[in-house]
Structure 1
Amino acid sequence: MSSELNARVEPRKDTSTITGILLLAAAFLPWVAYWVLTRPGQPAGIAVALGISCLLLAQQLWTHSYRLLEAASFVFFAGAALAVFPIGNTAPADNAGPFGFGALLLIAAVSVLVRRPFTADMARLAYPRQYWHNPAFITLHSIISSVWAGVFLVCAVFTAFSVISVTGPLAVGLMVAAFIFTLVFQSKGPAYLVKQKYRDFEWHVPLTPRSSRQQNEYDVAVVGAGIGGLTTAALLAKRGYKVLVLEQQSQPGGYCRSLERGDFAFSAGVTGITGLWDSGPVDRLLRHIGISPDGRFAAHSHRYICKGSVIDTGAGMQSTVSALGDVFPEERDGIGSLFQDAAEAFFQLHEYSRQFDSPLPDHLVVRLMGDRAAAHLPRTYPGLYDWLDKTLQQKLDEHLRSDSLKAIIAAASGQNGTTPEATTGLRALMGCLGPQIAGTYYPAGGPGALAEAMARAVESFGGNVMLNYRADRILTDHRQVRGVRSGADIFQAHAVVSNVNPRTCVLQLVDANEIGGLYIDFIKSLPMSRSAFIVYAGVDADLSSYPSLIENIDGDFTILINSNADDRMAPRGRSSLTLIAPMGYRDFPPRDERDYDDRKRQFAALLLRKAEDVLPGIGDRVVVLDAATPRTLESYTSIPDGALYGFDQSVGSRRPHFRSPIKGLYFAGASTFPGAGVESAMMSAMICANDIAGWPRDGE
C-alpha cells in the first residue's frame, strides 16, 4: 500500500472551467436575441429567443443535464410568446430591457434563496458529481449568482427609466464584467473565502533553533505530555529547538498510558492505534523520531456481538469483508463495494497529505498548496470528497440494506463518540472504517510503553520532559506568548503548545483580557464529547482463545483483553481486561459526595455482570479490580467532563483552529483538527510542529 501513497498533488491544466463559462454564455443567447431583435411593435425577437431556448432545453433533455437558467428562460419566452402572439399584449416587446433583466433578477434571486445558484449548474462540469452539493461549492456560487443578480437589478432599473439602452455600452460592460468575475472567482474564490474565515489566526512567530540561551528560557514550551504534546516536542527537538514539556502527572501519555495493579497491567483507555501500515503516518512518525515500530505493535483481532450473533472478523480489510460476507451472504456484493469505496477514499486522504505528514484543514490547503492546487483537490480526489460531504450512515445506506450489518460496521463509530448519523465522513474514514481497512494495533507493553518511549525520544534530542509539574499559567503580554509559570518557577518561551483541552487552557491558564471575550464565548459554546465508565479487572482465567478486542453492540460496551494483545500484561494463565462503557459526565455524582464510592462499586459490578454474557464465569474469578468514572478521567487529564474525545465530533460541530488568537499559542491534541485518537493527535502535533519550524517543501 505504501507505493500508492507516494504521489504528489500537482495543479493540472483543466479546460472544464472555460467550458462552464461557455455554457453560461450559451444560456444567455436567447436573451441576447430577445434584446437585439425585439423592438416596440416588432416582436419577432421573442420567437427567435423561444426557438433558441427550445434547442438548449432539448440538449439538456438529451444529455439528462438539467440547468435552471435555460429551463426558466424557456418558461419566460413561452409565456412572452403566448402574451404577444395569440393575446396581442405587446408589453414584452415594448419593454424588452426591464422585462428581460427583471426576469433574470427573479431567476437569480430565487436560485440563491433555494440554495441552487444558477451559475453552479454550469460549473458542475468542472467537478465530480460528489462535490456538487458541497457547502463550500454552494456558497461560492451563491456569491457569484448574487453578483449576477446585482447586475440584473441595475440594468432592470436603468432600462426601465431609459437611463441606458439594453444594448448600450453600460449594459454590455456590466454583463462582460460579470462574466470576468465568474471566471476569476471560480478559481480564486475558494481560497479567498477560506482566508477571510481564518484571518484572525494568520500570525507568525519567527523562531530559529536554539535561539533561547538562558537556563529557564526555551524556544517552545509544551503544556501536557499527552501524545499530541510528546509528538510536537519530539519533532521540534529533533529539528534543534530547545523544548520543554511540563506534565502534571507522574506518567506521560494522558489517556495513552498504562495502569499497574498487582501483577496485572491495563490500558487506561486507549483500545488501539491506527496508521501503522507500511509507511502509514504513525509508522513514518515513529521512525522519524527514532522509534522502530517493528515488533512494537500487535494487530488486534476483532469480535462483534449483535442481536445475539457472534462475528469474528480477524484483523484487516480482507478478513473483515470475508467474515461479514459469510454471515450476510445476501449483502456480500454491498459489503465489497462499501469497503472498496471506503478504501479508495481512505488512501486518497493519505495520498494528498503525505507531503505534509497529515491531512490538512482547508485553510492550510490554501496556504501550503496554493489557490490552484486547492481548487483542483475535489477533481483530483472525487472519492474522498464524496465521503467528506456525507455521514457514515449515508454511506452505509448507499451500499447495504441490513440494519444489523450496518450496526456492526458502524460499531467503531462509537470510538468517535458519535452515532453513525452524526459521524462525519472524515471521522468515518479515520476512526471507523479506516481501522478496519488498515488494521488496529496494540502497543507492546501497553499504551504507556509507547508514551514513555516518546518521552525518551524527546530527551534524546535534547528536550526536557518534567513530570509532576503542573502549568499554573501561560504568560502573555500584549496578546503574545511570553512563557509558562509552574508554581514558583517561570519558564520563558517564544511559543507555547497547549496539549491540554482548549477549554481548560482558555478558561484557566490564559488571561481573559488577553485572549478576548469573543473567543472565550466561542470555546464555551463547544460541547464536550461523551465520557465513559472504565473497569480494570485482573482475572484468574486464561482467555487467550478470545479475540483481543470485542465490541458488544447489544450491551453497548467494549472489552479489551490486554493480555491477548501482549501476554506480559498478566501472569501466565491469567488475563487483564479493560471494560469500557459510555457514560455521561452528569450520570455520576461528584467525587466528594458520600455515595460516590458506593456508586463506583455498583457500576463496576454491573459492567462485570454484563461482561459475563460474553466471557462466562469471569465475575467469580476477579482477583484485581479498579475503576475510573468520568470524574476520575476529568481529574487525571484536566479535560472538562472527562470527555474521551475532546470536543464533540458530530456533524456540524466545530473544532478550534490550531492557532489561538494569542500570537505564539498553539493547540495540539484530540480537540483540534483532525480529531480524537492517537493517530489524529499525532497528526495535529505534526501540524503544530511544521507550522513552528516551517512546512516541508517538495523533495524534503
Structure 2
Amino acid sequence: MDYDVLLIGSGFGALTAAALLTKRGLKVCVLEQAKYPGGCATSYKRKGYWFETGATTLVGLDKHMPLRYLLNELDLQIPMRNLEPPMQVHLPNGEVLTRYGNLGAWIAEAERVFGKYKQREFWEHCYRVSQQVWQTSLEQRSFPFSNVKDLLKAATRVRPAQLSLLPAAFRTMHDVLLKYDLLQNHLFVDFVNEQLLITAQNHAAEVNELFGATALCYTLYSNYYVDGGLINLVNPVVDYITSNGGVVKYGQQVKAVDSLRKGYKVTTAKDSYFSRFVISGIPLNNTQELFTDKSIKQKLQLYLLPSDKLNGAFTMSLVLDGMVAPDVLHQQVHVPDGLPIIGSKSIFISFSHPADKLRAKAGEVLASVSTHVPHPEKLYIQQKEQVETGILCALERAGILDQASIKYTQSATPGAWIFWTNRAYGAVGGYPQYKSIKPWQMKDARLDHKGAYVCGDTVYPGQGIVGVCLSGIIAAEKLWQDHY
C-alpha cells in the first residue's frame, strides 16, 4: 500500500481527520484538485488580493467546541482577532440590530428592537440548549450510531443532560417560537428565519430545535477574524500534516475509487494511489459518483438530497478604495422584496479588518458578499449583472457600502462554483436542516464498514467550519475505533 489513509479533498473536515490520524502515526495523503487547501473555508489570491472562498466567520474555539479540541490536540496557535460585537443586522423596517456577544447585552438589544415580550425567556432557553449541544457533541463522538461498538461507547459517556436534549430533536424552531408566543411578532420571525438561513440553510419551520438554537446563538460565542484570510487557519493544519510525515498533493482531481480485496485504489486525472483506508471529504452527491462499489452507491442513495432541496450561492468579491470598513465587520441586510432573478431576501457581507495588512493595500478594504440561490441546478443565472446591481443597491441603501468606492469586483453564480469546486449542482453551505431528518438519520462517518469513511458539510453534524471540523474528528475516531 502507498498509504494508510487517502483523503479526497482538503476541506476542513478532511484536514481535521488527516491531522488527527497523522498524530496517531498513520501515513496519510490528501488529494486536492485545486491549488489551495481548505475547500470552502479558505482564501485565494487574485489581482494581488486575498479573497475568502466562502466562509468568513470563525467560531468554535470556546470550551467544549470542536475547533478548540482540534487545536489543543495538535498544539497549534492561530493568531486571531476577537470580534465584539460579531455582527449587525439591517432589518426590513430600517432598524439596525447589533448582535452582541454577551448574552445580557444581546437580550437588551433584542428587547429594544423587538419588544420585551418573551425575548429574555426565548434567548435564555436557546443559549442553554446550545451549551448542552456543544458539550454533548464532543462527549458523544460515536454519534450517529452505525454499529454495536458505537452504542457501547456512547453508553459509557452518557449523562442525564444529554438525554434531556432528545425531545428537542422532535421540535422545530417554529414550535419554540410558538411556545414563547412569538409567532405574531413578524419582524422577529423574519429575523430568525434569515439568521437560520445563514447557519442552518433553512427556515424555522424545518430546522429542529437542537440545530436551530445552536445556530441562532453562534454570535453568543467567541467570533474571530484571521489576518490574511482563513487560509491562515488552514495552512497550520496542513503544515502539521506534512511536518509529521503526511502528504498533501494539489491538482489531483479524483476520478474513481475502487474497492480492492484489501484496501482501495484511488485514481486521479494524473495517477493512481493505493491505501488501506479512504476518507471522502467531498459532498455525498460527489462521493457517490466516485465509488465504483455498487453497494456503497446504493447505501448513499438513501441519504442524497436533490438540487431542489439544496442551496447555491451568488457571491461577490469587492475591492473598495478609500472606504473605511464599518466597526462591525459582519453585516446582514434584509431585502424584503427579494433580489432580482434569485428572490433571496437577505445579503451577508464581511469586510476585511482595517489592521489586516496582508489581504489588501493601505487605504483599501476587501468585502465578501453572499446570498442564497435556491434549487441551483434549475436556476441558471444568465443575467448576473441584474443580481449584482440589486445587491449593490441594497447594500448602499443600508448605508454600509459606497458604490463609488468600488475599484474591482468579481461575482460567481452556482455555475462558477461547479467550475471551481466540482460540487454537485454548485451547491454550497452543506445539506440544509429538515424536520423530516433527525440527527441520528444523518449520514454517519462509515461508507462500507470495511475501510471507507466520509466527512464534510453534507454529513452529521452539517454546516460551517466548526461543523465540518466535528465531522472530521468523528471520521478519524471511528476509523481508529474500527481497526486499531
Larger strand percent: 2
1:492 corresponds to 2:274: yes
TM-score computed with the length of structure 1 as normaliser: 0.62
Indicate how the Cα distance of structure 1 residues 617 and 284 shifts in structure 2: closer, same or farther if over 3 A, else same.
closer
The alpha-carbon deviation at position 370 of structure 1 amounts to 5.4
The match for 1:560 is: 350
One-letter code of the match for 1:344? R
Offset of residue 360 of structure 1: 2.5
> Secondary structure of 2:126's partner?
helix
Whole-angstrom CA distance in 2 between matches of 1:491 and 1:342: 47
Tell me the amino acid that sits aligned with residue 104 of structure 2: Q
Match of 1:690 in 2: 477
Structure 2 SS opposite 1:672: coil
Provide Cα deviations, 1:360-409, integer angstroms capped at 9, x if missing partner.
325579725558668x75x5446523432211222123225322123324
Structure 1 pair 500–433 and aligned structure 2 pair: CA distance change class (3 A)? same
Number of the residue aligned with 2:45: 260
Deviations 1:477-506 (A, max 9, x none): 36x642312235221101000011121121
* Match runs of 1:15-26 below 5 Å: none
Match in the other structure for 1:269: 54
Which of structures 1 and 2 has the bigger CA Rg?
A: 1
2:109 is aligned, of 323, 334, 355, to 323
* Secondary structure of the corresponding residue to residue 492 of structure 1: strand
Distance in 1 (CA, whole Å) between partners of 2:40 and 2:316 is: 14
- 2: CA distance, partners of 1:292 / 1:338: 36
Give matches, 1:6-405, under 5 Å.
Answer: 217-278=2-63, 280-293=65-78, 295=80, 298=83, 301-306=86-91, 307-331=93-117, 334-355=118-139, 358=141, 360-363=143-146, 367-369=150-152, 379-381=160-162, 383-401=164-182, 402-405=185-188
- 1:666 corresponds in structure 2 to 453
2:359 corresponds to: 569
The answer (yes or no) to whether the contact 1:667–1:688 under 8 Å persists in 2 is yes
1:577-614 Cα shifts (integer Å, max 9, x gaps): 11111113146538xxxxx4xx2333223321221112
Identical columns (%): 20
Name whichever structure is richer in helix by fraction.
Answer: 1
Preserved CA contact (<8 Å) 1:299 1:565: no
8 Å contact from structure 2 (residues 95, 113) kept in 1: no
Cα 1:428/1:548, change in 2 over 3 Å: same
Q: Distance in 1 between matches of 2:227 and 2:12?
A: 16
Structure 2 vs 1, CA of residues 503 and 329 (structure 1 numbering), >3 Å: closer, same or farther? closer
1:625 aligns with 2:416: no
**Structure-2 separation of matches of 1:371 and 1:560:** 39
1 CA distance for matches of 2:80 and 2:212? 28
Shift of 1:250: 0.3
Secondary structure, aligned partner of 2:318: strand
Trace 1:644-663 onto structure 2 (pairs within 5 A): 644-653=428-437, 655-661=442-448, 663=450
When the two chains are superposed, the root-mean-square deviation of aligned CA atoms in Å is: 2.8
Structure 1 residues 544 and 274, CA gap change in structure 2 (3 angstroms): same
CA shift digits 1:107-140 (9 cap, x unpaired): xxxxxxxxxxxxxxxxxxxxxxxxxxxxxxxxxx
On the 8 A contact 1:256/1:269 being kept in 2, the answer is yes
State which of 330, 337, 351 in structure 2 corresponds to 1:549: 330
SS in structure 1 of the partner of residue 461 of structure 2: coil
Match of 1:477 among 255, 260, 271: 260
Equivalenced residue count is: 465
Q: Following the alignment from structure 1 to structure 2, what is the Cα–Cα distance between the partners of residues 328 and 647?
A: 30
**One-letter amino acid matched to 2:351:** I
Structure 2 match to 1:446: 229
Aligned to 2:380: 589
Distance 2:17 2:227 in 1: 22
Offset, 1:298: 4.4
Q: Aligned equivalents of 2:399 and 2:97: distance in 1?
A: 15
Q: What's the offset of the Cα at 1:293? A: 3.8
Specify the alignment match of 2:340 in structure 1.
none
- SS state at 2:7 partner: strand
TM-superposed CA distance for 1:223, in Å, is 0.6
Cα displacement string for residues 10-68 of structure 1 (whole angstroms, at most 9, x for unaligned residues): xxxxxxxxxxxxxxxxxxxxxxxxxxxxxxxxxxxxxxxxxxxxxxxxxxxxxxxxxxx
Matches for 1:502-581 after TM superposition, within 5 Å: 502-507=284-289, 509-513=290-294, 515=296, 518-519=298-299, 521-524=301-304, 528-554=309-335, 555-563=345-353, 566=356, 568-581=358-371
* Larger RCO, structure (CA 8 Å, separation 6 or more): 2
